[in-house]
Amino acid sequence: MGISHLKSVIEGLLFASGDQGVTVKQLAHILNIDKTTVKHILDKLKFDYENNDRGITIIESHDIFYLATKPEHHHYIKQMIDTPHATKLSQAALETLAIIAYLQPITRTEIEEIRGIKSDRPVQTLLSRSLIEERGRKETVGKPILFGTSKDFLTYFGLTSLEELPPLSENIEETDVREEADLFFANFQKLNNNN
């Protein structure tokens, strides 16, 4: 595989790695080439991205490489995020919100356990959109922050109280499991029938 092909695959891998990023070791492994070549190609890519007709760049943190937008374009990107089309919550944010709504108060780590994926971004989004808020700290190691839904959450979903939610939510300790399961399903059915 020639250098330009390698470069294209590495750009694709960097792109697809998203927020998780990718290490030199991983790239070397996937492409079956040595780390020095990977580093060399990353340098080439970085150089390409410096050109002022390019809008992306490579950032490196703790040996993990990510693609990112250029800081000088943040003004435009912020504008895009603020336009109506983009205000729709992402799939990740919706998932996270559903989990928080059902299981509040809940820590980020607990959310991540359920989603099976890092969730700091969606939590951040939900916080910034005032859909969730901090609810004190959990009395465990590290005293992690607990999150719950906010008043705006109710407004957003056109609810008058949390009780109107398909509740796996607040009374989980007291509710017996069976009852809860029935409730879940009753709600799910209701939703289904609405379709």
Partner 1 sequence: MNQAYRVKLPTFEGPLDLLLHLIQQYEIDIYDIPVADITEQYMEYIHAMQHLELNIASEYLVMASTLLALKSQMLLPNQEVEETEDEYMDDPREELVQRLLEYKKYKEAAQKLKDHEGQTIYIRPPTFINDNMSKQKVKKGELSIDDMLHALGKMLARKEWNKPLDTKIKRTEISVQEQMRNVLQIVKRTDGGIRFDALFDNPSRPRIVATFIAVLELMKKNQVFCRQKTHFSDLFVYYVGGD
Range 90-109, binding its own copies (CB under 8 A): 90-91
Check binding of 194 to partner 1 (CB under 8 A): yes
**Amino acid symbol at 158:** G
Work out how close the CB of 32 gets to partner 1 at its nearest, in angstroms, rounded to a whole number.
16
C-alpha of 180 from chain center: 28
Work out how close the CB of 4 gets to its own copies at its nearest, in angstroms, rounded to a whole number.
4
Residue 172: which of partner 1, its own copies, none does it interact with, CB under 5 to 8 A by kind? partner 1
Check binding of 30 to partner 1 (CB under 8 A): no
Residue 8: which of partner 1, its own copies, none does it interact with, CB under 5 to 8 A by kind? its own copies
Check binding of 157 to partner 1 (CB under 8 A): yes
**Are 49 and 9 spatial neighbours (Cβ–Cβ below 8 Å)?**
no
Residues in the chain: 195
Supply the angle between the helices 108-115 and 120-128 in degrees, to the nearest 10: 120
Check binding of 70 to partner 1 (CB under 8 A): yes
The stretch near partner 1 (CB under 8 A) out of 1-9, 32-40, 67-75, 135-143 is: 67-75
Residue 109: which of its own copies, partner 1, none does it interact with, CB under 5 to 8 A by kind? partner 1
Integer Cα distance of 26 and 37 in angstroms: 13
Q: What angle do CA 173, 174, 178 make, to 5 degrees?
A: 90
Check binding of 159 to partner 1 (CB under 8 A): yes
Check binding of 69 to its own copies (CB under 8 A): yes
**Are 45 and 10 spatial neighbours (Cβ–Cβ below 8 Å)?**
yes
Supply the angle between the helices 120-128 and 91-103 in degrees, to the nearest 10: 80
Residue 14: which of its own copies, partner 1, none does it interact with, CB under 5 to 8 A by kind? its own copies
Contacts of 168 (CB under 8 A, 6+ apart): 102, 103, 180, 183, 184
Helix, coil or strand: residue 58:
strand
Work out how close the CB of 174 gets to its own copies at its nearest, in angstroms, rounded to a whole number.
34
Residues that bind its own copies (CB under 8 A): 3-5, 7-20, 22-23, 26, 29-31, 52-56, 67, 69-70, 73, 76-77, 79-81, 83, 85-86, 88, 90-91
